[in-house]
C-alpha cells in the first residue's frame, strides 16, 4: 500500500462509530464566525471544499451533483418560475444553477452568515461562477425564516440549501412543520420547494424519513430523491415538494425538452434519465418513510450527529 502523501487530515464524522477521512493539501481559510466554524480547504481527492461545523458541505469535484439535483427538479415543477427565494446557499452554487433558468427575473438569497458568503465569493469562484454579480441577484444576511415572516411576498420556487440540523447550529428551526407552513404560504399557487434531507444510509434514516413525513403534513405532493455525493461519504437524499405538479408523471423526454428550452448551458448530472432514476427510492428507504411517525416541530426539533 502506498504511503499517504498528506500529513494533515480532516475527519468528517458520520456517526460516533464512522467517519470519512480527507487528506488536506492546504487550508485556505479557517475561522469561527458568529454562527459556526468555517473552513475552506483543498483536499487531494475532491479539490477545494467548504466545511461548516466540521461537516463537509460541498467539494469542487462533485458539487455539481448536489446543486443540480437540489435546484432543477423544483425549478421544472413550476411552468414559468420568475421569482426564486434561496434559504442559505452560502457558496453561491445554488444561486448559479437557479440563474441558469432563462425565465428567472429575480433571485433573493438569504444567508444568516455573511462571512461564509464573503469568503466563498473570494476563494470558491468555480462554485458561484459570477452569480453573486448577476443583475438578477439580491443578497440579504439575516435569518431566512424571519425574512419570510416579515414579508408577504410570494415566490415561485423556494430552494432550501442549508446545513444539517446540528444542535445549537443555525439551521434546525428550518426543518420544522411550522417553517414549512410558512414556506407554503409564501409560494405562488404552482410553487415548489426543494431541500437536502440527509443521508439514505442504512440505519441512519431518522432525519430523512422525518423530514419527508413533516413535509407531507403541509404539501399535497412530496418526493424524496436519492443521489450519491462521493465527498459526503454516505448516500444522500433530497426532498421535493409541490403544490400541484407531480414530478413522477414526467417522462424522460418531458424533462429533456424542458431543460433544452429553459436552462442555459449543458447540465453535467441532471437530465431526463437521471430524473426517472431519482423518482425511485430503494425498498428499505421507502419502508422507513412509511413507518416513520415523527413530525418535526419547533418545540420538538431533530438533530443529526455532530
Dist. CA 12–CA 7, nearest whole Å = 16
Among 161, 256, 257, 298, the active-site one is 161
**185 Cβ contact partners less than 8 Å away, ≥ 6 residues apart:** none
Return the bridge partners of 108, or none: 85, 138
Dist. CA 183–CA 187, nearest whole Å = 6
Dist. CA 30–CA 193, nearest whole Å = 32
Dist. CA 269–CA 128, nearest whole Å = 17
Give the CA radius of gyration of the chain: 18
Tell me if 215 sits within 8 A of 239, measured CB to CB. yes
Dist. CA 42–CA 47, nearest whole Å = 5
Dist. CA 204–CA 289, nearest whole Å = 12
Pairing of strands 18-32, 221-228: unpaired
b/e for 116-136, b at 16 or more Cβ within 10 A?
A: bbebbbebbeebbbebbebeb
Tell me if 60 sits within 8 A of 40, measured CB to CB. no
Per the annotation, the verdict on 143 as an active-site residue is no
Residue with C-alpha cell 449543458?
A: 266
Sheet (strand 155-161) strand order: 137-140, 106-110, 83-88, 155-161, 187-199, 235-242, 221-228
Whose CA is closest to 198, among 170, 231, 226, 169? 226
Residues with a catalytic annotation lie at 161
Amino acid at each position: 500500500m502506498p504511503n499517504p502523501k498528506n500529513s494533515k487530515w480532516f475527519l468528517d464524522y458520520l456517526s460516533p462509530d464512522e467517519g470519512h477521512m480527507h487528506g488536506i493539501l492546504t487550508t485556505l481559510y479557517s475561522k469561527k464566525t458568529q454562527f459556526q466554524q468555517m473552513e475552506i480547504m483543498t483536499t487531494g481527492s475532491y479539490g477545494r471544499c467548504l466545511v461548516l461545523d466540521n461537516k463537509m458541505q460541498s467539494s469542487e469535484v462533485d458539487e455539481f451533483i448536489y446543486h443540480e439535483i437540489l435546484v432543477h427538479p423544483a425549478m421544472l415543477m413550476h411552468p414559468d418560475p420568475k421569482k426564486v427565494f434561496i434559504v442559505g446557499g452560502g457558496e453561491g452554487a445554488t444561486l448559479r444553477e437557479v440563474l441558469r433558468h432563462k425565465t428567472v427575473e429575480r433571485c433573493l438569497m438569504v444567508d444568516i452568515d455573511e462571512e461564509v458568503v464573503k469568503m466563498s465569493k473570494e476563494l470558491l469562484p468555480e462554485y458561484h461562477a459570477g452569480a453573486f454579480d448577476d443583475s438578477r441577484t439580491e443578497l440579504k444576511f439575516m435569518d431566512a425564516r424571519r425574512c419570510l415572516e416579515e414579508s408577504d411576498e410570494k415566490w415561485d420556487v423556494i430552494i432550501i440549501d442549508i446545513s444539517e440540523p446540528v444542535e445549537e447550529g443555525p439551521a434546525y428551526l428550518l426543518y420544522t412543520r411550522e417553517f414549512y407552513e410558512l414556506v407554503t404560504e409564501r409560494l405562488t399557487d404552482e410553487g415548489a420547494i426543494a431541500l437536502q434531507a440527509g443521508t439514505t444510509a442504512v440505519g441512519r434514516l431518522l432525519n430523512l424519513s422525518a423530514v419527508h413525513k413533516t413535509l407531507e403534513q403541509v404539501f399535497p405532493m412530496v418526493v424524496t430523491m436519492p443521489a450519491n455525493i462521493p465527498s459526503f461519504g454516505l448516500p444522500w437524499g433530497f426532498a421535493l415538494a409541490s403544490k400541484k405538479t407531480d414530478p413522477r408523471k414526467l417522462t424522460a423526454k418531458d424533462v429533456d425538452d424542458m431543460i433544452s428550452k429553459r436552462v442555459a448551458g449543458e447540465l453535467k448530472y441532471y437530465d431526463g434519465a437521471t430524473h426517472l432514476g431519482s423518482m425511485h427510492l430503494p425498498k428499505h428507504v421507502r419502508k422507513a418513510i412509511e413507518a416513520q411517525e415523527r413530525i418535526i416541530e419547533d418545540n420538538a426539533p431533530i438533530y443529526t450527529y455532530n
